[in-house]
Amino acid sequence: MVLTDAPLNAKDATQRATLDYFREGPYIIAATLCESILQEGDPGLTSIIRLTEKLDASMVPPPGLTPEELAVVEIPRLPLPFKLIIALRGFPTLETTTLTLKTIRPSGAEGNFITIDDVNPAGSLHAVNIKIEGQVVIHENGIHIFEVGWSDRVLTRIPVELSLSLAPVLQN
**Model pLDDT for residues 9-61, shown as the tens digit of each residue:** 556 655 666 666 667 789 899 999 998 998 877 766 888 899 988 888 777 77
66: in domain? yes
Residue 4 has pLDDT above 50, yes or no: no
Task: Give the pLDDT confidence score for residue 73 in this predicted structure.
Answer: 72
6: in domain? no
Which domain range does residue 23 map to?
A: 11-166
* Residues of the chain above pLDDT 90, percent: 26
**Model pLDDT for residues 104-155, shown as the tens digit of each residue:** 999 999 988 889 888 888 888 888 889 999 888 877 889 999 999 998 889 9
95: in domain? yes
List the CATH number of the domain containing 159: 2.60.40.1930
2 — pLDDT class (breaks 50, 70, 90): very low
Query: Into how many domains does the chain fold?
Result: 1
Task: Give the pLDDT confidence score for residue 40 in this predicted structure.
Answer: 78
4: in domain? no
**Model pLDDT for residues 56-93, shown as the tens digit of each residue:** 877 777 777 777 877 777 777 777 888 999 999 988 88
d(CA 121, CA 21): 14
51: in domain? yes
100: in domain? yes
Please give the radius of gyration of the chain, using alpha carbons only, rounded to the nearest integer.
23
E-assigned strands of 13-141? Answer: 27-39, 46-52, 54-59, 79-89, 97-104, 110-119, 128-137
Short-list 143, 142, 42, 158, CA closest to 99 = 158
d(CA 35, CA 50): 5
Task: Give the pLDDT confidence score for residue 169 in this predicted structure.
Answer: 61
Q: Are 158 and 148 in contact (CB under 8 A)?
A: yes
d(CA 155, CA 124): 21
29: in domain? yes
